[in-house]
């Protein structure tokens, strides 16, 4: 009830037009060493709106009717600026595939400013594909339609799944040509987040030995996003501990839903624990603990089962960057909380996926053995967990539909007896358990083949599939009439699609 009341109050807030949106840019108040000021480079061809996210618009009080205006496409197509915007490209460095790169930065994105809503909340509006910046290196600063659709849809998917993420306000297209592996059309995406500060922003000032800038950045982030720590004695160490907690929770969410980021470089790690920078990501189809979604990751550094470790590794890089501000032992203590935090969060989520209400000895083994059955049978991760909700715990029940997913039926039958006994041991009722499990096991996930089919239509200017898929992904746990095809396993052509960083 409280949640419903909150939403009602938000909808009653006066809505804003493009002319009355309130912009600021607190990041632009930092020293100029933190960024490069420049305006977006507009498309040479007229921009047009491809799709808009009404729920994201509500976060900044933007009237959805504004999406019908050509001025909006021009504003978020790099052709115009709103009052209060102070565009800039943010500087950072980072460890890419384990190797430190001294300077990175926004090479194809520009922070337009912060939209402030009437509740006092600030949202960065970051324009991706906005043209070259001083940090573009050899790139053209553009994004292609293909990559922007993938990010736009995955932001919606993660939001629907309840996973911390940046959001996407809208997708703007153009007939401008962009050269990648082939000639494609360009697009821009407006990414929203309370902050786009990442681990690599601390690293750049640490390695440059610009410790005064490091302190300025830490104080800025604490003031803006961790203000409850502002007057504490060990605020930098406590700040780090909270980043550890958010990161552990985030990666546990990824693991439970079967999602791989693909490029977990430190410059792609949000200081707020948000999923950031959607490139060669992938939801698993057939369960594979060693799933690699980035075809450039030849050694599997960012494989699915490596993500928890890489989260810890990246946090250790952040801890090192904070050494001039906090005691080593305090940072080490914060780092040591990561594994138990991750384990607890992941175990809770996996128990929920299996419908287990209580934590009991042997649960880890029961879940691990089930995942082993999935892997040995090349069974679909999302589909099987969804069907597990219909498991009958009655004596003599065969659970034939679920059983069909497994190659070794005898091993499944043995596991099913253990699972049945475990459910009955805590007095589980099948109908209630099924309802609970359907709230955490999604019916719809953004499979790569669904994204690819949507992209192929969009490349012929048929954007209808973006809207249909976007709608399904917003409520992934709910049965949606007419959307059944999105819940099917991928066809053979869609099982092993290669995805690159330009995707």
Active site residues: 267
Asked if residues 180 and 455 have their Cβ atoms less than 8 Å apart, the reply is: no
User: Looking up tokens 């203000």, which residue turns up?
Assistant: 227
Whole-Å CA distances, 169 to 29, 115, 155, 399: 25, 12, 10, 44
Residue closest to 383 by CA, chosen among 399, 368, 402: 402
Asked if residues 41 and 78 have their Cβ atoms less than 8 Å apart, the reply is: yes
Tell me, rounded to whole angstroms, the distance of Cα 400 from its chain centroid: 36
Residue closest to 190 by CA, chosen among 136, 151, 159: 151
Exposed/middle/buried for 157, CB within 10 Å: 0-12, 13-18, 19+?
Answer: buried
Q: What number of CA atoms fall less than 13 Å from residue 251's CA on the CB side?
A: 30
- Return d(Cα 248, Cα 345) in angstroms, integer: 8
Whole-Å CA distances, 178 to 76, 145, 181, 187, 295: 18, 9, 10, 9, 22
- Return d(Cα 79, Cα 160) in angstroms, integer: 32
Residue closest to 142 by CA, chosen among 100, 172, 166: 172
Asked if residues 149 and 139 have their Cβ atoms less than 8 Å apart, the reply is: no
Asked if residues 167 and 191 have their Cβ atoms less than 8 Å apart, the reply is: yes
- Return d(Cα 172, Cα 287) in angstroms, integer: 35
- Return d(Cα 278, Cα 271) in angstroms, integer: 16
Q: What are the structure tokens assigned to 323, written together?
A: 């050494």
- Return d(Cα 354, Cα 96) in angstroms, integer: 36
Strand partners, 282: 260
User: Helix, strand or coil for residue 403?
Assistant: helix
């Amino acid at each position: 009830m409280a949640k419903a009341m909150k939403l009602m109050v938000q909808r009653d807030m006066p809505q804003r037009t493009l002319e009355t949106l309130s912009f600021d840019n607190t990041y632009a108040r930092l020293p100029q060493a933190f960024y490069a000021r420049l305006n977006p480079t507009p498309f040479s061809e007229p921009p047009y709106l491809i799709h808009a996210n009404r729920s994201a618009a509500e976060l900044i009080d933007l009237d959805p009717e504004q999406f019908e205006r050509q001025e909006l496409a021009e504003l978020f197509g790099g052709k115009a600026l709103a009052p209060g915007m102070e565009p800039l490209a943010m500087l950072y460095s980072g460890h890419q595939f384990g190797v430190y790169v001294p300077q990175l930065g926004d090479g194809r994105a520009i922070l337009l400013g912060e939209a402030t809503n009437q509740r006092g909340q600030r949202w960065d509006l970051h324009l991706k594909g906005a043209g070259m910046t001083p940090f573009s290196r050899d790139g053209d600063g553009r994004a292609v339609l293909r990559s922007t659709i993938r990010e736009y849809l995955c932001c919606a998917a993660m939001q629907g799944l309840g996973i911390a993420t940046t959001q996407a306000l809208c997708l703007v297209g153009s007939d401008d040509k962009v050269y990648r592996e082939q000639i494609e059309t360009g697009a821009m995406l407006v990414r929203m987040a309370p902050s786009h500060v990442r681990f690599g922003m601390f690293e750049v000032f640490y390695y440059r030995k610009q410790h005064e800038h490091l302190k300025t950045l830490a104080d800025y982030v604490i003031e803006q996003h961790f203000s409850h720590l502002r007057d504490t004695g060990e605020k930098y160490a406590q700040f780090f501990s909270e980043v550890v907690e958010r990161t552990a929770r985030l990666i546990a969410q990824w693991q439970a839903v079967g999602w791989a980021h693909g490029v977990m470089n430190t410059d792609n790690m949000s200081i707020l624990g948000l999923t950031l920078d959607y490139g060669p990501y992938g939801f698993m189809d057939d369960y594979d603990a060693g799933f690699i979604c980035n075809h450039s990751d030849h050694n599997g550094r960012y494989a699915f089962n490596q993500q928890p470790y890489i989260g810890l590794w990246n946090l250790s890089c952040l801890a090192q960057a904070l050494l001039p501000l906090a005691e080593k032992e305090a940072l080490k203590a914060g780092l040591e909380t990561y594994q138990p935090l991750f384990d607890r969060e992941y175990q809770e989520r996996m128990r929920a996926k299996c419908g287990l209400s209580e934590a009991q000895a042997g649960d880890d083994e029961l879940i691990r053995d089930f995942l082993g059955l999935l892997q040995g049978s090349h069974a679909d991760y999302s589909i099987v967990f969804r069907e597990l909700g219909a498991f009958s715990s009655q004596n003599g029940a065969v659970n034939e539909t679920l059983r069909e997913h497994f190659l070794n039926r005898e091993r499944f039958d043995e596991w099913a007896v253990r699972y049945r006994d475990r459910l009955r041991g805590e007095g589980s009722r099948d109908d209630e358990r099924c309802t609970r499990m359907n709230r955490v096991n999604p019916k719809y996930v953004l499979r790569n083949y669904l994204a690819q089919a949507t992209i192929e239509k969009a490349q012929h200017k048929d954007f209808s599939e973006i809207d249909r898929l976007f709608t399904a992904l917003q409520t992934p746990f709910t049965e949606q009439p007419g959307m059944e095809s999105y819940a099917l396993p991928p066809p053979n052509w869609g099982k092993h699609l290669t995805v690159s960083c330009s995707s």
